[in-house]
């Protein structure tokens, strides 16, 4: 009798737990449906606004994986651009990366353009998967006429975890 | 008389633990609900899931945390909420241990995203405390209710 009560009790509790989890999961999916849909379609650039791509030029904003980023780094042909906040950049960044924080990109771009030809290979990164800043900076660069822009989605965390060259206060 | 005082103290203690754990989980949940993209980045750093699933987990786990936190605080379906909380913490501990074994030096992403890095060891210690509290709540609720029914 007692065992049966305990058994039915544990069954009841499991059902309750499953129900709570289900409600929370459904709420989460509904709440984030737009983000999830964008991620699913590979367009996480910005969940709310999408800038029209310049029609006159072929848009070449390519995703780059860790090994591709390292290859570009080793060939020394690409300019690495750090889109994170200057304070975070100061703590640590990919060796030789230029700081072009998204908040100050408009004022900093002129200086950058004086030093970097339009046909340079650019590789933009920020704090890893899901951070928007590299995408926003890349769009600005593209709008100014840079043609070959790679987005290194793994960003600084992935680079650092892989033990690749970094520099900064924390390195 | 003495046992009455004792059980009263025990009840207050359980209540404190319940509300405390609830607040922690609501806090953890809301921080991540506000910034699912940053949390997806933290999930991706664990390198266990493919791209899309990182976002799916980031979109849902914080809601489970916040829901359980809310239930613990208001005292509704406390046992079930404590059970889920315990299961989640157990899962987090295993996951964090795996980052140590795999040599990943990442932020645990437990609360605020992208701030000061919390090492896996500290996060594991913290989660063990939460797991213990959740298990206490899970069993205590059971003990109190079973004889009455």
C-alpha A13/C-alpha B113 separation (Å) is: 33
ipTM score of the complex? 0.89
Contact between A5 and B149 using a beta-carbon 8 Å cutoff: yes
Query: E strand or H helix at A101, and its extent?
Result: none
Cβ contacts of B67 on chain A, cutoff 8 Å: 20, 23-24, 27
Is residue A64 scored above 90 in pLDDT?
no
Cβ contacts of A44 on chain B, cutoff 8 Å: 37
Q: Which of A20, A31, A44 sits opposite B67 (nearest CB)?
A: A20
Contact between A17 and B52 using a beta-carbon 8 Å cutoff: no
Characterize the bridge pairing of strands A78-82 and A166-167.
Answer: unpaired
Cβ contacts of B49 on chain A, cutoff 8 Å: none
Q: How many contiguous H segments (helices) and E segments (strands) does chain B have?
A: 5, 0
C-alpha A129/C-alpha B40 separation (Å) is: 7
Which of A59, A45, A64, A52 shows the shortest CA–CA distance to A124? A64
Please report the pLDDT score of residue B128 as a whole number. Answer: 97
Query: E strand or H helix at A5, and its extent?
Result: helix A2-31
Mean pLDDT across A102-108: 80
Please report the pLDDT score of residue B79 as a whole number. Answer: 94
Q: Does residue A125 contact residue A94 with C-beta atoms inside 8 Å?
A: yes
Q: Which conformational region is residue A149 in: left (phi greater than 0), alpha (psi within -120 to 50 degrees), or beta?
A: beta
Q: Does residue A111 contact residue A99 with C-beta atoms inside 8 Å?
A: no
CB pairs A-B closer than 8 Å: 102
Is residue B46 scored above 80 in pLDDT?
yes
Report field, pTM of the whole predicted structure over 0.80: no
Say yes or no: B74 contacts chain A, CB-CB below 8 A: no
Average pLDDT, chain B: 88
For A72-95, what is each residue's pLDDT tens digit?
A: 898 888 899 999 888 889 999 999
C-alpha A42/C-alpha A105 separation (Å) is: 25
Say yes or no: B11 contacts chain A, CB-CB below 8 A: no
Residues 86-125 of B with CB under 8 A from A: 87, 104-106, 114
Contact between B63 and A25 using a beta-carbon 8 Å cutoff: yes
Q: Which of A13, A24, A40 sits opposite B52 (nearest CB)?
A: A40
Higher-confidence residue: A150 or A59?
A150
Residue A54's pLDDT band (cuts 50, 70, 90): very low
Please report the pLDDT score of residue A58 as a whole number. Answer: 43
Please report the pLDDT score of residue A24 as a whole number. Answer: 97
Mean pLDDT across A120-145: 84
Is residue A66 scored above 70 in pLDDT?
yes
Which of B122, B80, B78 shows the shortest CA–CA distance to B97? B122
Contact between A32 and B45 using a beta-carbon 8 Å cutoff: no
* Own/partner pairs, A33-36, CB within 8 angstroms, 24+ separation: A35/B36, A35/B37, A35/B55, A35/B59, A36/B55, A36/B56, A36/B59
């Amino acid at each position: 009798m007692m065992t049966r009560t305990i058994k039915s009790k544990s069954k009841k509790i499991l059902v309750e737990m499953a129900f709570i989890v289900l409600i929370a999961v459904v709420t989460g999916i509904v709440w984030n449906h737009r983000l999830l849909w964008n991620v699913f379609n590979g367009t996480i650039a910005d969940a709310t606004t999408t800038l029209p791509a310049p029609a006159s030029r072929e848009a070449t904003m390519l995703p780059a994986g860790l090994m591709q980023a390292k290859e570009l780094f080793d060939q020394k042909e690409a300019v690495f651009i750090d889109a994170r906040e200057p304070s975070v950049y100061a703590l640590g960044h990919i060796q030789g990366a230029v700081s072009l924080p998204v908040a100050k990109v408009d004022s900093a771009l002129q200086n950058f353009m004086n030093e970097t030809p339009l046909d340079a290979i650019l590789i933009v990164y920020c704090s890893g998967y899901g951070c928007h800043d590299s995408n926003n900076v890349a769009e600005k660069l593209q709008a100014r006429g840079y043609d070959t822009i790679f987005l290194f989605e793994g960003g600084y965390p992935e680079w650092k975890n892989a033990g690749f060259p970094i520099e900064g206060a924390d390195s | 008389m003495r046992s009455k005082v004792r059980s009263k103290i025990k009840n207050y203690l359980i209540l404190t633990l319940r509300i405390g754990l609830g607040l922690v989980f609501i806090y953890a949940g809301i921080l991540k609900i506000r910034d699912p993209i940053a949390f997806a980045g933290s999930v991706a750093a664990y390198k266990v899931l493919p791209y899309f699933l990182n976002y799916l987990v980031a979109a849902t786990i914080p809601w489970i945390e916040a829901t359980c936190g809310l239930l613990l605080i208001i005292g509704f379906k406390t046992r079930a909420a404590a059970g889920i909380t315990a299961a989640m913490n157990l899962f987090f501990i295993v996951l964090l241990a795996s980052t140590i074994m795999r040599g990943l030096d990442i932020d645990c992403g437990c609360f605020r995203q992208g701030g000061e890095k919390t090492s896996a060891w500290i996060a594991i210690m913290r989660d063990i405390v939460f797991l213990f509290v959740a298990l206490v709540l899970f069993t205590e609720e059971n003990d109190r209710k079973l004889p009455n029914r």
